[in-house]
Structure 1
Amino acid sequence: MPGMIQSIERSSAVLRLLAAGPDRLRVKEIADALGLPKSTAHGILRTLEHVGFVEQDPRTTRYRLGRGLLDLGDAGLDVNELRSRALDWADALAARTVEAVRIGVLQGDSVRVIHHVFRPDDTTQAMDTGLVVPAHATSLGKILLAYDVTALSLGGLDPYTRKTVTVRRELARALAEVRAQGWASAVEEWESGRAGIAAPMRTFGGLVVGAIGIYGPVERICDSRLRPRPALVEQVRATAHAISRDLSGPRR
């Protein structure tokens, strides 16, 4: 049986110490209280600060619990913050691909679109922000299902077109492929003549908190064999990676 992980035990002790006292603490006070070398305590604090679990007062250099701990009670990053931090990247993706861009989060066994950038041309388009789409039949949803161990068992797999995957075992295989390649596609699975490509947006520790992707006519998204165009896949993946780097950095 594997043993305990010392760094996690020490991090837990630091958090408990900060939670127990009414005052903010200096690095030395924390080190002395826990019997740790000052350098070790400082390293733990810097890591906890990076993930938002502690905060340092820049004036006094003292530490206290961070607001990142509150996220543990409400399923992670607030969708408004997620949307605001991805806005510029979504606009740039639409401009580069000349396709509509959507950002989505999991809502039960469906996906709620929290941001939509119109395809940058003169075609008539409807705003999709707030739209709820089926997770198993869309590229955004496949990304979110692939990294959520519980959502796949929440509901049925309704058919929307002849290409919709409705067998749970087949969907599980498709999601395993999504995890292996790091992106997802859906070709005429929700709407005939439409296709999408999506990639995961991650925060601290690689946690997937949303998905971003493009959506449009099959002939624009796919090649003649109905395979997603590699250049578009790379654009979506690069954008998702850029957003993930931002989400894993200090909060604004």
Structure 2
Amino acid sequence: MPQGDNENGRQEPRIGTVASTVAILRQLASTPAPLGVNAIARSLSLTPSSCFNILKTLVSENIVDFDPNTKLYTLGAGLVSIARNALDPDAAYEIVRTRLEVLAETWGMTAGLWRAHSDRILLVGYVAGARMMRIQMTVGQRLPKLIGSVGRCMAAAMDLDREELARRFAGLRWESAPSFDEYCEQVEEAKRQGWSIDRGQFVRGATTIAVPLQREDGDLKYCLVSTMFTGQHDDDKVPLIVKELQQIARWASRPIDGSGVIQQPPLRQSTRSV
């Protein structure tokens, strides 16, 4: 029987049907064309009857779609709500999206929301301003928690000692890496000013500004981030962009009932003259 690691690192047997179900979903996700039961079973070394029974259950739960004419299977819409809840359990992006759209359009840049999850940060959602060349991203992408402008904000909030920060910094991969001393100074700066900027160190040619979206309990779970081409805006425009991000962060950080749901802020005009 296949083995898996439990949270203590010990090997435990995996439930065969569950493992097969996950393998079938991954197979459908990785293949652009619809697949038949025999093709799926053959690629995963499953018996056709077992594969069919699993697919039948997944179809009944709207997790997989079945075309009765072609006898082929594809991923179903039921996965969307599951994935959405896993990616953004507080529905925070829907709350800030309208404000981020205004920001992105005003400044001609990309604006997004990142969420901390374990030792990673996840891109919950983003919008790109209308300009001939845009920075496109991938919703759901994961990065190390302490990298880039978001990482400096996270490190500032975590208040790690220098030894632990050095250990984590050593595992980060940058395109134009700062020295550890420089990174420490940037973390301290983020702690003092309440935001952080990365000027082409994580990704050459891209400048990102991150503003933490902290909850009333002080926990840093989200960061609002603007991403632009390096040199796109003069340095004197940075404080204006930061100000708008901070306004969104303040409005969006107010819990309405303590359940993790965040209150919808009123829409305001951008502070930039256009």
* TM-score calculated relative to the size of structure 2: 0.53
* Residue matched to 2:100: 90
How far apart, in 2, do the equivalents of 1:120 and 1:196 lie? 18
Is the Cα contact below 8 Å between 2:110 and 2:227 reproduced in 1?
Answer: yes
Match of 2:133 among 123, 126, 134: 123
Task: Say whether 1:165 aligns with 2:172.
Answer: no
Is the Cα contact below 8 Å between 1:203 and 1:248 reproduced in 2?
Answer: yes
> CA 1:239 to 1:204, structure 2 compared with 1: closer, same or farther past 3 Å?
same
* Residue matched to 1:114: 124
1:87 Cα deviation (Å)? 2.1
Is the Cα contact below 8 Å between 2:128 and 2:134 reproduced in 1?
Answer: no
> CA 1:241 to 1:108, structure 2 compared with 1: closer, same or farther past 3 Å?
same
How far apart, in 1, do the equivalents of 2:138 and 2:88 lie? 19
1:179 Cα deviation (Å)? 1.3
Instruction: Write the mapping of 1:46-61 to structure 2, written as runs, cut at 5 A.
Output: none
Aligned residues: 169
How far apart, in 2, do the equivalents of 1:200 and 1:119 lie? 21
Task: Give 5+ residue unaligned stretches, structure 1.
Answer: 1-76
Is the Cα contact below 8 Å between 2:109 and 2:135 reproduced in 1?
Answer: no
* Residue matched to 2:249: 240
How far apart, in 2, do the equivalents of 1:172 and 1:104 lie? 22
1:89 Cα deviation (Å)? 2.4
1:157 Cα deviation (Å)? 4.0
1:80 Cα deviation (Å)? 4.3
Match of 1:249 among 236, 244, 256: 256
Alignment RMSD (CA, Å) = 2.8
Provide Cα deviations, 1:54-82, integer angstroms capped at 9, x if missing partner: xxxxxxxxxxxxxxxxxxxxxxx964422
Task: Say whether 1:205 aligns with 2:217.
Answer: yes
* Residue matched to 2:230: 218
How far apart, in 1, do the equivalents of 2:169 and 2:131 lie? 37
Is the Cα contact below 8 Å between 2:135 and 2:227 reproduced in 1?
Answer: no
* Residue matched to 1:140: 150
SS of the aligned residue for 1:87 comes to helix
* TM-score calculated relative to the size of structure 1: 0.57
> CA 1:124 to 1:86, structure 2 compared with 1: closer, same or farther past 3 Å?
closer
How far apart, in 2, do the equivalents of 1:79 and 1:92 lie? 24
* Residue matched to 1:190: 202
Provide Cα deviations, 1:140-171, integer angstroms capped at 9, x if missing partner: 22212221246945563434233x2242x543
